[in-house]
Amino acid sequence: MSRISFILFPGFPMLAYALAREALDIANHMANETLFTVETRVPGHADARASNGAVMSPDRRDWDGAEEVDLALVICGEDVPRRIPNGFQGFLSRVDQGGGRLGGIDGGTVILARIGHLDNRRAVVQENDDGPFPDILLSDRPHILDDRRLTVAGGVAVGDAICAWITEIAGSALADEVARALGSGRLPDPTGPVADPDSPADPVIAEMEAKMRAHLADPLPLAELAESMGLSRKALRGRCIRATGMKPSDFYLSLRLRHGAELLRNTAMPISEIATASGFETLAGFSRSVRNNLGVSPSAVRKMARAARKVAKYA
């Protein structure tokens, strides 16, 4: 059994935490046993407010048990605190000395970099006023799993990063199942055949998705969408969460971002036009959403796709 300790700094991105937790929960479900146990801690041992306003109470209000932790994941938003608590630093050092892996997500990578835990290693470090970090081999990849360190830019890259770690711990077969479940938004039944991810279990949600796809460039107000299906917004929200694990607004955003990413990868359209085609009023809003959810900028998405095509050409 592997034990994961999430260390949440105030303002932490809820999407990153939720994706990581979901990936681990799915892994336990698919394995039909508890392969991974999870705990949360907060510097200062008080409640922490996430980026979306939700308040999280830590499971542990101490820094004990570091020697039992297999992965300590530090999650922080863009506002990295100037002062890093000594108790937290001591906990990370004891996890490292005990053979555990240290990880950072979003601003958590900056914290690890600032206190020297990424020196002389390859790592992803979010852009921050603290840099540059000359002793770190910086990477522009969405995540790096290297030398007992796991660094992640944030957004949906968190799911891929946790799956890479699951591969090391429990094998690629389980990690692949988890990745498929995360990608489809549906939890497979470990006792039966894997469902077709393109076949929604709820026909109402299938209709919702079709309406959303027909209005990617001009997103429908959720109240109008629900009314067109004979539902209240609350009823649509409940069905969407049960079927996909996401609120309708988040599901709609994921469709629009996926559409934008496809255009970035496969067309030469200007990024400003792709933003409009994906339902964003401004280029800045599109760029921010892509970076927050995919972990890299729109131009980086395009560059990585071009590089992949070149590699495939000569493979």
What residue ranges define each of the domains in the chain, with the CATH number in brackets? Answer: 2-184 (3.40.50.880), 203-313 (1.10.10.60)
Contacts 24+ apart (CB under 8 A), 189-194: 190/29, 190/30, 190/31, 190/32
Condensed to tens digits (0 to 9), the pLDDT of residues 128-175 reads 666 678 899 888 888 999 879 999 988 778 888 999 999 999 999 999
Cα gap 23→175, rounded to integer Å = 9
> What's the pLDDT at 106?
92
Helix (H) or strand (E) holding 292: helix 283-294
Closest to 184 (Cα-Cα) out of 167, 170, 205: 205
Query: Position 108: which residue type?
Result: G
> What's the pLDDT at 186?
46
Cα gap 207→18, rounded to integer Å = 26
Per residue of the chain (315 residues), give pLDDT as tens. 899 999 999 999 887 888 898 889 889 988 888 999 999 999 999 999 888 777 889 999 999 999 999 999 999 988 899 899 999 999 999 999 999 999 999 999 999 999 999 999 999 998 766 667 889 988 888 899 987 999 998 877 888 899 999 999 999 999 988 888 776 554 444 334 334 444 455 678 888 888 999 999 999 999 999 988 878 899 899 888 888 888 999 999 999 999 999 899 888 899 999 999 999 999 999 999 998 887 788 998 888 888 777 766 655
The alpha carbon of 6 is separated from its chain's Cα centroid by a whole number of angstroms, namely 14
Query: Position 148: which residue type?
Result: R
Helix (H) or strand (E) holding 55: strand 55-56
Closest to 145 (Cα-Cα) out of 120, 116, 166, 114: 166
Condensed to tens digits (0 to 9), the pLDDT of residues 205-233 reads 888 888 999 999 999 999 999 988 878 89
Cα gap 186→275, rounded to integer Å = 28
